[in-house]
């Protein structure tokens, strides 16, 4: 697992998403997030019980979310290489289903809002990586 955390936050969550994560943790125990890609519910983050999904050397740790449990957020390294210039915010919308993600039965779905890093953020991250 590759840790790319540093002075600049790479992931965050909206208040509504944080409330949902806290509620999911109270039902299922600690959780983790793994950003998916590809078909159907791809491009959406998946939320699993923390010991359910094996992260490994091919994954990048982007940081912890601002929920009470500090849920970790991961992405597959080859995918991160295309996403690394964007900050990710976990949000939640009304929805139906989505793979094996824990929130689906609640009638909601986590989604990702993205924004480009500012020049200042990009410089700070580049300095850390040097």
Where on the chain is the footprint of other proteins (CB under 8 A)? Answer: 34-44, 46, 48, 52-54, 76, 78-79, 82-83, 86, 93-102, 104-105, 107, 109, 111-116
Total residues found in the chain within this entry: 130
Phi and psi torsions of 115, nearest 5°: -140, 155
What tokens were used for 16? 């509504």
Candidates 82, 73, 37, 28; CA nearest to 55 is 73
CB of 83 to other proteins, least distance (A): 7
59 HSE (CA, 13 A, CB side): 17
Please say which residue, 88 or 125, places its beta carbon nearer to other proteins.
88
What tokens were used for 49? 């019980």
Please say which residue, 7 or 38, places its beta carbon nearer to other proteins.
38
CB of 35 to other proteins, least distance (A): 7
CB of 86 to other proteins, least distance (A): 7
CB of 118 to other proteins, least distance (A): 12
What tokens were used for 51? 């010991």
């Amino acid at each position: 697992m590759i840790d790319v955390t540093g002075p600049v936050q790479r992931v965050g969550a909206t208040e509504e998403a944080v409330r949902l994560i806290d509620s999911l943790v109270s039902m299922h125990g600690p959780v983790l997030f793994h950003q998916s890609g590809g078909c159907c519910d791809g491009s959406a983050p998946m939320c699993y019980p923390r010991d359910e999904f094996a992260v490994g050397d091919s994954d990048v740790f982007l940081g912890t979310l601002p929920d009470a449990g500090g849920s970790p957020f991961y992405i597959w390294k080859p995918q991160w290489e295309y996403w690394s210039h964007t900050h990710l915010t976990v949000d939640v919308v009304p929805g139906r289903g989505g793979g094996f993600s824990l929130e689906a039965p609640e009638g909601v779905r986590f989604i990702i809002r993205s924004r480009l890093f500012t020049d200042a953020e990009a410089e700070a991250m580049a300095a850390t990586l040097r």
